[in-house]
Each structure stands twice: as C-alpha cells, then as structure tokens.
Amino acid sequence: MTERMQEPTLLVLTALADSPRHGYAIMQEVQELSGGRVNLRTGTLYGALDRLVRQGLITTCAQEIVHGRARRTYALTPEGRDALAAEARRLRVTLHAVTDRLATPASHATVGTFA
C-alpha cells in the first residue's frame, strides 16, 4: 500500500497494532484513538474489515459464537504492520514539514494582500 491511507483505515489498523480485537472492540478503540471524532457504524466497519482482509493487511484469527452470533477476532498481518509503519513514516515527514514551516517567521507577510 503506497498511497495515503484514509483516516478510518489508519485508525482500524492502529486499533489492531497492539492486540487482536473483535469488531465492537475495534469500534470502541477507533473512537478512543480519534478522541471521539470518528464513530464507525457497524456496516462501515465490517465493510472495511472485509476489504482489509482481502488486501492481506489483517486476518481473522479467531471466531466464536456469542448469543447465537459469530464473533470474529481480527489481527494485523505482517503486511498490515508494514503498511501501518509506512503510513506513520509518511505522516511523520508531513508533520515535520508543517512544524518547521510554522516555526519559521514569514519573510514577507501577504495576509489580506492580493496583487
């Protein structure tokens, strides 16, 4: 995965980076990681999980029946860990550039001035 990750994908992979989780736990973790900004709906989450499984970034590592329904537990694959690490590096470079630019005083202010 060489293109920029969408935020929900980044958050789902991050939620799985430290331990496997089932769907509801992933939804809770994404909400916490995003400071409450991202609330994945059930259909959106499971669509994303299916896509990430097809892409080889996550895998189903366990399945159990809870209250008559299948509960799958998902884990990051080595490829998923590599993709997440690559995205973290990309974000770090971008953050560094932004921080540097904001710390450097503008040489000539043009706020509100258009030629």
Residue of 78, 46, 73 lying closest to 60 (CA atoms): 73
17 lies in some domain: yes
Tally of domains in the chain: 1
Q: Which two tokens stand for residue 63?
A: 């399945």
Predicted confidence (pLDDT) at residue 1 exceeds the cutoff of 50: no
**Partners of residue 18 on adjacent β-strands:** none
The DSSP result for the chain, as a single string, is --SPPPHHHHHHHHHTSSS-EEHHHHHHHHHHHTTTS----HHHHHHHHHHHHHTTSEEEEEEEEETTEEEEEEEE-HHHHHHHHHHHHHHHHHHHHHHHHHHSPPSS--TT---
Kindly report whether the global pTM for this prediction surpasses the value 0.95.
no
In which domain, by residue range, is 75 found? 7-101
Residue 19 sits in a domain of what CATH number?
1.10.10.10
User: Which residue bears the tokens 């537990």?
Assistant: 73
SS3 29: helix
40 lies in some domain: yes
pLDDT (tens digit per residue) in 43-100: 999 999 999 999 999 999 988 888 888 889 999 999 999 999 999 999 999 999 999 9
pLDDT of residue 86: 95
Using CA atoms, how far apart are residues 68 and 48, in angstroms rounded to an integer?
A: 23
**Which is it for the CA torsion 75, 15, 26, 58, positive or negative?**
negative
